[in-house]
Amino acid sequence: MKQGSHAVQQPDARKNYIGLVSDTTEDKQRADSAARSQPRVMSYLVGRLAAALKRPGKAASGRAIKS
């Protein structure tokens, strides 16, 4: 059997690192932008969660929760 003369190309580590950093930065910017553009939604959801946690115990199946 003959071995091929194909050289295995090594990926450029700098390019990969820059790509990862760039992707992370873009994702963070998107998340920050979404959070800023919907403060009412976040406030509403936090309020609903707080209200649900303050309610007296209601079991999902309608049974009372015994402590």
In the prediction, which pLDDT does 47 show? Answer: 92
In the prediction, which pLDDT does 20 show? Answer: 60
Flag whether the pTM goes above 0.75. no
The one-digit pLDDT tens for each residue of the chain (67 residues) are: 455 555 566 666 566 666 666 666 777 777 777 666 677 888 889 999 999 998 776 555 555 555 5
Distance (Å, whole) CA 53 – CA 41: 18
Distance (Å, whole) CA 48 – CA 46: 5
Name residue 32's amino acid.
D
In the prediction, which pLDDT does 66 show? Answer: 59
Buried b (16+ CB within 10 A) or exposed e, 20-52: eeeeeeeeeeeeeeeeeeeeeeeeeeeeeeeee
